[in-house]
Amino acid sequence: MSKKLFIEDLQVKGKQVLVRVDFNVPLDDNMKITNDKRIAASLSTINYLCEQGAKVILMSHLGRPKGERKPEFSLKPVADDLSSRLQNKVSFIDDCIGDKVEAAVSSLNDGDILLLENLRFYKEEEKNDASFAEKLAKPGEIYVNDAFGSAHRAHASTQGVTKYIDKCAAGYLMKKELDYLGKALESPEHPFIAILGGAKISGKIDVISNLLNKVDKLLVGGGMMFTFYKAQDKEIGKSLLEEDKLALAKETLGKAGEKMVLPVDCVAAPEFSNDSPSQTVSVDAIPSDLRGLDIGPQTIELFKKELAGAKTVVWNGPMGVFEFDNFAAGTNAIAEVLAECTDTGAITIIGGGDSASAAKKAGVAGRISHISTGGGASLEFLEGKTLPGVAALSEK
C-alpha cells in the first residue's frame, strides 16, 4: 500500500474532492438502514477531509437498480443518516452527473459535504463507459477511493474517473484493508494459518493455490470439504459435491500434503433444514442417506489445537450451514477461537461476506484485528489478483 498515494499525502484545503465510498447498505421497506457498518467505516476519511477544509463530494452505488432510476434504491436515506453522525449537514442531490451536480458543487464551502445519487441509476457505471466517467470526474480536482468493497470492479467510479483526475489517492478504509491483507500475504508473522470454508471448491480454489506456499497450515471446512473427501474415495452420502472438480480436488490434495487439514467428523442430517434430526459421524462413516451440514466437535478441537500459537490467521468462509442455528456450532466455535487468538497477540483477519456475519452473530466482531468490508474484493486479493480500483490509484 505504501507505493500508492494516500489522502494524508495531499493538500486538500479548498479543493473539490470526489470520494468513492461504499454506501451499499441494506434498507427495509420503510427505507430505514438495517446495517450501518459500511457508513461507519467511511467516517474517518470523510471527517479528515472536512477538517482539512476540502469540499467533499461523495458517490456510491446501492443495490442493483440495473441502470434504471428506482426510488427504493435512492441514497437519500444515507444522506440523512450521515447528517446525524457528522457535525456538518450532508446535502443530497438526485443525480450524479450533469449541470445540476456542477451547480451544487460550485456552491459548496470548505468543509461542506454533498452526496450524489446512486451511480447505478446509469447503466454506464458498471460498463465503465468513458464518456460517463468523464462527466462523473468533471467536478473533482482530487479523487479518493475508500470503497474497498468495490475495488475488484473496473467501473466508471472506481477506475474510469482516474483517467480524468491527476491525483487519485486511497482513503483510510482502503489503506487499512490493503495494509492488513497485504501484510498477511507478503510478510506474515508465522505460524500463519488460513481457514477456508464455504460451499464450493470452485469459489476458493484460486485462494488455496495462492496461499499454499505462504501458510504453515490450511484448515478446510464447509461444504467444499466433501468434494475433497470424494476425491479420496470416501462415502459422502447426500452431502454437497462438485463432480466436475474431483480431479482438481485430488491434484490440490497432492500439492498440499500435510499442510491441508480436513475435518475428522461432521454433523449430518437427512434434510437441508434447521429442524432435520442430526447426528455426529466420522467422515470415514457418513451414512448414505445423510448430508453433512457442519464440522463436528472433534474437528473443532483439532482446529483449536492447530490454531494454538498462531501469529497470523486469515479466515474466509463458514464451517457449515451457519444460517441454521442447529448447524452453526462449528462456525461459532471458529469465530470464538479467532477472538482468543487475537487476545493472545495474533493478527486475525476475516475476509468479509458470510464469515464477517458469523463473527458478528457470535458476538466476537470487536475482538478480531480486522474484518474486511469487501467479501468479493478480499477474496480476489487473497487469490493474488490485481484489484482494478487499487491499480488505478496514483503512485507516490
Instruction: Provide the annotated active-site residues.
Output: 38, 200, 353, 376
Q: What are the angstrom distances between the C-alpha of 247 and each of 1, 5, 129, 253, 348?
A: 37, 44, 40, 10, 32
Q: What are the angstrom distances between the C-alpha of 170 and each of 53, 85, 269?
A: 18, 22, 47
Q: Cell 456552491 belongs to which residue?
A: 107
Q: Is 345 left (phi over 0), alpha (psi -120 to 50) or beta?
A: left
Angle at 195 between CA 376 and CA 382, to 5 degrees: 35
Residue 137: burial class (beta carbons within 10 Å; 0-12, 13-18, 19+):
buried
Angle at 235 between CA 232 and CA 239, to 5 degrees: 105
